[in-house]
Amino acid sequence: MDGVTEIRRGTLQEQTFYEQVGGEETFRRLVHRFYQGVAEDPLLRPMYPEEDLGPAEERLRLFLIQYWGGPTTYGERRGHPRLRMRHVPFRVDRAAHDAWLKHMRDALDELGLSEEHEQTLWKYLTYAAASMVNTPD
Mark 11-28 as b/e (b = at least 16 C-beta within 10 Å): eeeeeeebbbbebeebbb
Residue 110 lies in a domain: yes
- Cα separation, 18 vs 39, in Å, equals 26
Which structural domain, as residue segments, surrounds residue 32? 22-132
Return the C-alpha torsion angle 84, 87, 106, 123, nearest 10.
10
Q: What CATH number has the domain bearing residue 82?
A: 1.10.490.10
In the predicted model, is pLDDT for residue 79 greater than 80? no
Residue 15 lies in a domain: no
Question: What mean pLDDT comes out for the span 87-110?
Answer: 90
- What pLDDT, on the 0 to 100 scale, is given for residue 9? 55
Residue 4 lies in a domain: no
- Tally the domains of the chain: 1
Residue 7 lies in a domain: no
In the predicted model, is pLDDT for residue 11 greater than 70? no
Higher pLDDT, 85 or 127: 127
